[in-house]
């Protein structure tokens, strides 16, 4: 954007100003939190909604895609809670500890809070904000370098979410399932913020799912801040299955300590417009990060995965593998940047993105980048886009397999690499079934 030129504000931007003005007095938090919110909203006002002239948002024009601003969702009533009783059912049989955030509010009555393991603490973000704790007032700002309008908007408007802490050297055997669901029929916005702090030497698995009603006009802006201590291991799996008309913007801020291991996987099949952005700081020496993602897109879906991995210390390793299967008139975007700071010698980092286009109208944009300031590293990246292999499809059809089944087998073989990396057997099988179900819905 040229200096001194301020674009005309869109209806959505004007609406967001109204939402903040009318809501700020009711948002949780004391004077410190309010000051952070005000500063964040001023940042948003100056930048506006992201658009293609902002390099990080080159392929996702939120000024165009977001036509208006919805009012913040009201706290869920008894009817909404009843509708959410079976939320997160994809993993219901796996016995995960379920924590439900319904229409933007944490609902203890729907959550499994009995018998928390020693060393595991769960709180409502709204309750924590009301205490004006320094950790939260500091944490509401960017924990890792992330100058982003959507993040600023979340900081200004976030009302609830969950705060989870795992004590050092504690292993949480039972995965924690964060269920974010919208059951409302009226247009609304859910702005949630969650914080997970895992102590040094601890180990835990967190599953995050987002779902809502098809054709329901709603917007989601959600942020997860994740602090992983030295020598800890954290697995985080995020599944986005929003309603067919939803706009979903999610930000992961991860700060990973020394000699820790961080496994991240994103699975996206729902939502009209989805932006999953991840800012991962490998802050300590000898850290290992495995970041993977799979998007299954159809109709006119637009899904943007933007990733920034920052190697800040020596001897760390990262692997990034992101795949997209794109049908009809859908569009998949991947932007990934590996940054290696001057002190991060002996860094080993590799990034790969692959897209499979199933129709002539499908589109995929890939932009992997390296930004290296150290001289003793091994770094690489790659990107491919293509269609189904006609020879392989002919091979299968020649053996009596119908065309659609042959295509499904080839698509499944392409996508399975991402899901098969999940260590938890039940979780891996559930996502495999979700992938097969998506394939079954193809016309």
Identify the residue whose tokens are 């590293």: 377
Whether pLDDT at 438 is above 90: yes
Whether pLDDT at 191 is above 80: yes
**Closest by alpha carbon to 368, among 355, 387, 358, 357?**
355
Q: What is the C-alpha to C-alpha distance for residues 62 and 151, in angstroms, rounded to an integer?
A: 13
Inter-residue contact 12 to 69 (CB < 8 Å):
yes
**C-beta neighbour count of 413 within 10 angstroms:** 10
Left, alpha or beta for 20 (phi > 0: left; psi -120 to 50: alpha)?
A: alpha
**C-beta neighbour count of 429 within 10 angstroms:** 13
DSSP 308-346: EEEE-STT-EEEEEEEEEE-TT-EEEEEEEEEE-TT-TT
Residue length, the chain? 443
State residue 139's pLDDT score.
55
pTM of the predicted protein model: 0.94
What is the four-CA torsion angle of 121, 127, 133, 137, rounded to 10 degrees? Answer: 110
- Stretch 99-103: mean pLDDT: 97
Q: What is the mean pLDDT of the chain?
A: 93
Inter-residue contact 409 to 379 (CB < 8 Å):
no
Left, alpha or beta for 4 (phi > 0: left; psi -120 to 50: alpha)?
A: left
Left, alpha or beta for 309 (phi > 0: left; psi -120 to 50: alpha)?
A: beta
At 7, is the pLDDT very low, low, confident or very high (cuts 50, 70, 90)?
A: low
At 18, is the pLDDT very low, low, confident or very high (cuts 50, 70, 90)?
A: very high
Rounded to 5°, the CA angle 53-149-23 comes to 140
State residue 1's pLDDT score.
45
Residue 411 φ/ψ, nearest 5 degrees:
-65, -45
Whether pLDDT at 2 is above 50: no
- Stretch 231-247: mean pLDDT: 97
Q: 105-109, 128-132, 173-177, 247-251 — which is least confidently predicted? A: 128-132
**Closest by alpha carbon to 13, among 56, 50, 58?**
50
- C-alpha distances (whole Å) from 275 to each of 102, 103, 253, 293, 302 are 21, 19, 14, 13, 8
């Amino acid at each position: 954007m040229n200096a001194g030129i301020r674009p005309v504000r869109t209806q959505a931007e004007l609406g967001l100003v109204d939402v903040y003005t009318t809501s700020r007095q009711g948002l949780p938090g004391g004077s410190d939190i309010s000051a952070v919110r005000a500063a964040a909203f001023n940042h948003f006002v100056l930048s506006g909604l992201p658009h293609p002239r902002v390099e990080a948002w080159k392929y996702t024009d939120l000024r165009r895609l977001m036509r208006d601003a919805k009012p913040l969702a009201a706290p869920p009533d008894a009817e909404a809670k009843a509708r959410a009783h079976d939320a997160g059912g994809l993993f219901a049989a796996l016995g995960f500890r379920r924590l439900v955030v319904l229409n933007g509010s944490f609902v203890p009555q729907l959550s499994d809070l009995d018998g928390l393991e020693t060393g595991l603490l769960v709180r409502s973000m709204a309750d924590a904000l009301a205490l004006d704790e320094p950790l939260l007032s500091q944490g509401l700002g960017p924990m890792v370098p992330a100058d982003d309008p959507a993040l600023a908007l979340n900081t200004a408007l976030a009302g609830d979410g969950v705060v989870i802490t795992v004590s050092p050297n504690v292993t949480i055997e039972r995965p924690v399932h964060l269920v974010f669901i919208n059951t409302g029929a009226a247009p609304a916005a859910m702005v949630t913020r969650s914080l997970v702090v895992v102590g040094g030497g601890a180990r835990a698995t967190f599953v995050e799912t987002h779902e809502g009603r098809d054709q329901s006009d709603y917007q989601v802006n959600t942020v997860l801040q994740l602090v992983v201590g030295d020598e800890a291991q954290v697995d985080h799996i995020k599944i986005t299955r929003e309603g067919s008309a939803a706009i979903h913007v999610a930000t992961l801020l991860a700060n990973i300590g020394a000699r820790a291991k961080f496994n991240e996987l994103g699975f996206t099949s729902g939502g009209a417009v989805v932006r999953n952005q991840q800012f991962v700081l490998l802050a300590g020496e000898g850290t290992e990060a495995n970041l993977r993602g799979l998007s299954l897109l159809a109709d006119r879906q637009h899904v943007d995965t933007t990733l920034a991995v920052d190697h800040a210390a020596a001897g760390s390793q990262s692997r990034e593998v992101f795949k997209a299967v794109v049908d009809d008139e859908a569009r998949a975007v991947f932007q990934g940047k590996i940054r290696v700071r001057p002190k991060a010698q002996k860094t080993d980092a590799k990034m790969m993105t692959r897209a499979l286009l199933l129709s002539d109208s499908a589109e995929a944009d890939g932009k992997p980048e390296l930004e290296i300031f150290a001289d003793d590293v091994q770094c690489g990246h790659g990107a491919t886009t293509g269609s189904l292999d006609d020879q392989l499809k002919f091979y299968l059809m020649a053996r009596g397999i119908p065309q659609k089944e042959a295509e499904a087998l080839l698509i499944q073989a392409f996508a399975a690499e991402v899901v098969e990396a999940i260590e938890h057997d039940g979780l891996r099988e559930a996502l495999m079934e979700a992938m097969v179900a998506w394939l079954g819905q193809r016309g």
